[in-house]
C-alpha cells in the first residue's frame, strides 16, 4: 500500500481493474524496481493484504481505546486523574498511527546515493516500535493499577532495593526490545549466524567500520547485532540476579509468582533469540521472538506493580 487515507483505504480493491491500478502504483516505487521487479499480481495481493490487515488492526485498536473512553467520560465514571490518563493513552494511539505512516513513507522514497536494497528507515522503525511499547506499557500499568488494590510498601531496606532493581531491569528489557527494531530494520540478524561467537571471533573486525564512530551504533549491521546480543545477555543476567536476590526476601505468593514468571520468560526469550539467529531468521520464529520481548516486558511490569503493592 503506497497511499494513506484514514477512511478511503478501508475499502480494498474488488475488481481486476482496481487491483491492476493498485499494482501499477506500487511499480513506480524503488521496492518494486530494485527488489521485486519480477513480482506477479498474485504475490502483490499477498503483501498488500499483509499491510492492509496491519492498518485495519491499528484502526480497531484505536476504536477500542477511543469509543469506551468517550462513553465512560460521558457517563461521568472517570475521575479527574483518570481523565488525564485516558487522554494521554488516546493521544498515543493517534500518534502511533501517524508515526506508522511516517515510517512506511521512508521505504517508498527514492535514494539515488544509496546502493542498499529499499527498506524503511531503521530510525523510524525504532520510533514506531518504541511508541507502541510505550502505549502498551502505559495501558498495562494502568490496568494493573486499577485491578490490583494498592497497599503501602513496608519500609524495609531490602524491599526498596528489590523495587529499584526491578525498575532498572525493566528499563533494560525495554531498551533491548527497542534495539531489536534496528536489528530488523538493517537485516542485522543475517550478518553473523553463529553463537556465542560472531563468526570466528568474540569481537568482529568490522565492529567500528563506519565513520564517525557513533554511526556504527545505529547504522552498522554488525554493531547493531553485537549490541543486541550484549543487551540480551545483560537482560537475562539482570533477571537472574533479581530472582536470586528476591529469594532472600519474604514475598507474597502472587509477587513470588511474578518473579518466577519473569525468569521463565527471560530464559524462553534467550532460547528464541539464539534459535532465530542460528536458523538464519525464519519469519515465524523471528515473529515469535519479537512477541517474546513483549511477554518479557509484561512480566517485568507485572513485577513492578506487585512490588508497588506488597502488603504489610
pLDDT, tens digit (0-9, with 9 covering 90-100), for 125-145: 999 999 999 999 999 999 999
Evaluate whether residue 97 is within a structural domain: yes
What b/e string do you get for 148-172 counting C-beta neighbours within 10 Å, with b at 16 or more? eeeeeeeeeeebeebbebbeebbeb
Give Cα separations from 265 to 69, 189, 252, 273 (angstroms).
32, 21, 20, 12
- The per-residue pLDDT for range 36-87, each reduced to its tens digit, is 889 999 999 999 999 999 999 999 999 999 999 999 999 999 999 999 999 9
Same domain as 209, residue 110 = no
Same domain as 303, residue 178 = yes
**Is-above-0.75 flag for pTM?**
yes
- The residue-averaged pLDDT of 149-175 equals 88
Q: What share of the chain is helix, strand, coil (3-state, %, to 5)?
A: 75, 0, 25
Could you give the CA distance from residue 47 to residue 165 in angstroms, rounded to a whole number? 43
Same domain as 232, residue 151 = yes
Residue 11 scores a pLDDT above 50: yes
Give the model's pLDDT for residue 10: 79
Peptide bond into 196 cis (omega under 30): yes
Give the model's pLDDT for residue 154: 73
C-alpha cell read off for 138: 502505559
Same domain as 225, residue 265 = yes
- The per-residue pLDDT for range 78-114, each reduced to its tens digit, is 999 999 999 999 999 999 999 998 998 888 877 766 6
Same domain as 304, residue 161 = yes
Same domain as 153, residue 106 = no
Place of cell 477511543: 66
Same domain as 296, residue 213 = yes
Give the model's pLDDT for residue 309: 62
- The per-residue pLDDT for range 270-311, each reduced to its tens digit, is 999 999 999 999 999 999 999 999 999 999 999 999 998 655
| 96: Cα separation from own chain's centroid | 12
- Residue 214 domain boundaries: 144-311
Amino acid at each position: 500500500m503506497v497511499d494513506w487515507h484514514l477512511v478511503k483505504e478501508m475499502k480494498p480493491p474488488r475488481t481486476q481493474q482496481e487491483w491492476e491500478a493498485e499494482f501499477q502504483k506500487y511499480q513506480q516505487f524503488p521496492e518494486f524496481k530494485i527488489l521485486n521487479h519480477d513480482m506477479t499480481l498474485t504475490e502483490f495481493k499477498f503483501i498488500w493484504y499483509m499491510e492492509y490487515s496491519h492498518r485495519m488492526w491499528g484502526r480497531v485498536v484505536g476504536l477500542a481505546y477511543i469509543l469506551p473512553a468517550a462513553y465512560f467520560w460521558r457517563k461521568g465514571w472517570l475521575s479527574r486523574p483518570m481523565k488525564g490518563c485516558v487522554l494521554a493513552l488516546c493521544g498515543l494511539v493517534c500518534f502511533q498511527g501517524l508515526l506508522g505512516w511516517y515510517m512506511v513513507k521512508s521505504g517508498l522514497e527514492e535514494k539515488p546515493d544509496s546502493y542498499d536494497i529499499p527498506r524503511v528507515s531503521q530510525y523510524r522503525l525504532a520510533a514506531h516500535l518504541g511508541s507502541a511499547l510505550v502505549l502498551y506499557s502505559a495501558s498495562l500499568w494502568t490496568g494493573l493499577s486499577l485491578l490490583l488494590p494498592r497497599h503501602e510498601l513496608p519500609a524495609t531496606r531490602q524491599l526498596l532495593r528489590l523495587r529499584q532493581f526491578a525498575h532498572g531491569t525493566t528499563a533494560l528489557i525495554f531498551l533491548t526490545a527497542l534495539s531489536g527494531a534496528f536489528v530488523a530494520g538493517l537485516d542485522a540478524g543475517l550478518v553473523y549466524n553463529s553463537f556465542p561467537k560472531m563468526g570466528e571471533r568474540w569481537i568482529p573486525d568490522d565492529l567500528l567500520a563506519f565513520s564517525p564512530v557513533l554511526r556504527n551504533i545505529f547504522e552498522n549491521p554488525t554493531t547493531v547485532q553485537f549490541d543486541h546480543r550484549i543487551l540480551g545477555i545483560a537482560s537475562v543476567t539482570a533477571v537472574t540476579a533479581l530472582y536470586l536476590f528476591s529469594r532472600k526476601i519474604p514475598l507474597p505468593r502472587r509477587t513470588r509468582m511474578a518473579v518466577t514468571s519473569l525468569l521463565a520468560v527471560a530464559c524462553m526469550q534467550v532460547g528464541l533469540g539464539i534459535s532465530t539467529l542460528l536458523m538464519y531468521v525464519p519469519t515465524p520464529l523471528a515473529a515469535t521472538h519479537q512477541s517474546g520481548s513483549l511477554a518479557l516486558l509484561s512480566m517485568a511490569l507485572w513485577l513492578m506493580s506487585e512490588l508497588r503493592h506488597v502488603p504489610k
